[in-house]
Amino acid sequence: MSVFELLEKKLTITGKKYRIVFPEGEDLRILRAAAQLAQGRVIEPILLGDPKRINMILEKEKIIYSSPQIIDFMHYPRLAKLQQEFINARGKQVGNEMVKKLLQNPNYFGTMMVQIGNADGMVSGVAHSTAETVRPALQLIHPAAGMKRVSGSFIMERGEEKYIFADCAINPEPDSATLAEIAYQSVQTAQMVGLDPQVAFLSFSTKGSAKGAMVERVAQACKLFKQTYPAIPADGELQFDAAFVPEIAAKKAPTSVLAGRANIFVFPELQSGNIAYKIAQRLGGFIAVGPILQGLAKPINDLSRGANSDDIYNVAILTAAQSMLGEEN
């Protein structure tokens, strides 16, 4: 069963329809995905954009979408109230004119819908960069309780194989405390998709085979993680082969609790994580699902600008599952 089949099954059991807002409501790919989601039992899509234009596209492309929920954010009737809620969420004084201008940006408007509870999550990115999607979330939603940071992971899936790669999207040069927090956030993502977490803190060194500040930073991250979450199997610093191949682990790290069976890989910095997931995707034939934003108080997720309607559908399902997980916690 794929990650998304599993998540959709879990969502169906709740009997709830999760409201997911799409800031890029005039994009054809979004409309195809939203129409498909609306036919199901777990997602209630909310489209931001010009209602006339959206309905024109639906008619032109012969997309069957009965009574789509559309919000014309450029002519929102309760803007004054939303502006005040924006200022409250921002946590610092922002001029009304600046707030009004920001709310004319669909990503800020969509993020505020999630913040005030008018939507359960947001999916954006087919026409915006990751920074344009993430920035409003960091400013308005903030990290979840107990979290200090936000990170970005990928679920890597190939047949029955499933792994978590992090951080591949947000933190360029994480310190030890940040790496430990990324690991815990990735554990939560793993558990959401049915993985029994086995955490490897990756390096070019295995158990002191090399020395230096980069190695020490990873080793210290693993130590912090073990102190905070002793029940979760974790080890590091480990080279990838020592984390993943039992035969190599037996030689390089014979006392490792992972024994070469890691399924969560915490990369030492963003550059290596981003490169690694793309190599696995392009050369290894893995499906890369993400970046999944981890550690936020409410779910916001990014899409690749090359995403198709199936990708959008799947990320919406994942976003709803994050909302479900938040409710359970």
Show the domain range for 95: 1-142+303-329
Q: Can you tell me the distance from the alpha carbon of 64 to that of 99, in angstroms, rounded to the nearest whole number? A: 36
| Among 293, 266, 298, 294, CA closest to 164 | 266
166 strand-pairing partners:
153, 266
- pLDDT at position 329 is 64
Which helix (H) or strand (E) covers residue 251, if one does? Answer: helix 246-252
| Among 293, 288, 200, CA closest to 248 | 200
- Give how many domains the chain has, as a whole number: 2
Quote the pTM value. 0.86
Query: Would you give per-residue pLDDT tens digits along the chain (329 residues)?
Result: 688 888 998 899 988 999 999 999 999 999 999 999 999 889 999 999 999 999 999 999 999 998 899 999 998 888 888 888 888 888 677 777 788 888 899 999 999 999 999 999 999 988 888 888 888 988 898 888 888 989 999 999 998 899 999 999 889 999 999 999 999 999 999 998 889 999 999 999 999 888 999 999 999 999 999 999 999 999 989 999 999 999 999 999 999 999 999 999 999 999 999 999 999 999 999 988 878 899 999 999 988 777 888 889 989 999 999 998 877 66
3-state SS assignment for residue 239: coil
- What strands lie across the sheet with 18-22, from one edge to the other? 70-71, 43-48, 18-22, 121-124, 300-302
Q: Tell me: do 53 and 177 sit in the same domain.
A: no
Q: Tell me: do 109 and 245 sit in the same domain.
A: no
Q: Tell me: do 138 and 149 sit in the same domain.
A: no
Hey, what's the torsion of the CAs at 158, 289, 179, 275, to 10 degrees? 80
- pLDDT at position 158 is 92
Q: Tell me: do 111 and 250 sit in the same domain.
A: no
Q: Tell me: do 138 and 148 sit in the same domain.
A: no
